[in-house]
Amino acid sequence: MNSDPATGTDGAWIVGLLQTGDSFYPTGSYAHSFGLEGLVQEGVVRDRATLHAWLFRSVLPALQHTDLPIAAHAWRAFGSDDWKTVGELCVLSSALKSAREAREASDRIGRQRAELAANLRASPLAREFLRRAEAHQWPCAAPVSAALEGRALGAPLPAVLAGVTYASVAALLSAAMKLLRLGQNGAQTLLTEALATAPVMITTAMTIPVDDIGWFNPWLDIAAARHETADARMFIS
């Protein structure tokens, strides 16, 4: 890639990642709390302090050990046309989400992201991924689709993983503002603190082998399963 600042080439993928990480981008993530509403209903997360504890003890470690390494391996697989690995990563990503709501949320968001990459970017790679996913019945896992977007934009791997980190945490805290007395300033301080951990998380995630991917949190899985049958819900998941 030409890195001459006068050409603006590097800026193309930067603004593309900004677009895909924006709440205005129609991935459908606004309709999901990613398990948080279930924890609020259970009384486990009830204020800023308990939200902070969950974010740093559960959400960020899960990102580092699941979605980020899956996205990293998928980015590499897309770069070498290794479709076998892409399909395996889609299945692995779905299998690691034991609650049905979480699996379906990832598939919906991932499918929408892949379709947007195919339509907005006119990406042949995205179209081929969608064709193969339909033919082989692969789940359109969200981290795999994020890697696909990165390849369609020509973005380097660390930037792609930074985008995944930002979008994941920002979407969660956006849901938190609707579920808790948090406020925008409170959400932004948590977001800033969480993003400060991103460089180490990303560096670590890029080195995790496929066989070591995974993070077990029965606390969240149980809350998500109970949320599925709740009498009233603000979010789909």
Per-residue pLDDT tens over the stretch 106-126:
899 899 999 999 999 999 999
Is 6 a domain residue?
A: no
5-9, 32-36, 40-44, 226-230, range with the lowest pLDDT: 5-9
- What's 107-154 look like in SS3? HHHHHHHHHHHHHHCCCHHHHHHHHHHHHHCCCCCHHHHHHHHHHHHC
Is 1 a domain residue?
A: no
Is 144 a domain residue?
A: yes
What pLDDT sits at residue 36? 83
Look at the chain and report how many structural domains it folds into: 1
Query: Rounded to an integer, what distance in angstroms lies between the CA atom of residue 183 and that of residue 204?
Result: 32
What is the average per-residue pLDDT within 16-21? 88
Is 21 a domain residue?
A: no
Is 4 a domain residue?
A: no
What pLDDT sits at residue 159? 96
Q: Which residue has the tokens 């992201």?
A: 113
Is 70 a domain residue?
A: yes
What pLDDT sits at residue 6? 36
Is 7 a domain residue?
A: no
Is 27 a domain residue?
A: no
Domain that holds residue 141: 43-227
Q: What is the pLDDT of residues 166-176, one digit of tens each?
A: 999 998 898 89
> CB count, 10 Å around CB of 52?
16
Query: Rounded to an integer, what distance in angstroms lies between the CA atom of residue 8 and that of residue 45?
Result: 45
Query: Rounded to an integer, what distance in angstroms lies between the CA atom of residue 236 and that of residue 35?
Result: 9
The whole-model pTM stands at 0.90
CATH code for the domain in which residue 151 is found: 1.10.4190.10
What pLDDT sits at residue 157? 97
Query: Rounded to an integer, what distance in angstroms lies between the CA atom of residue 144 and that of residue 3?
Result: 27
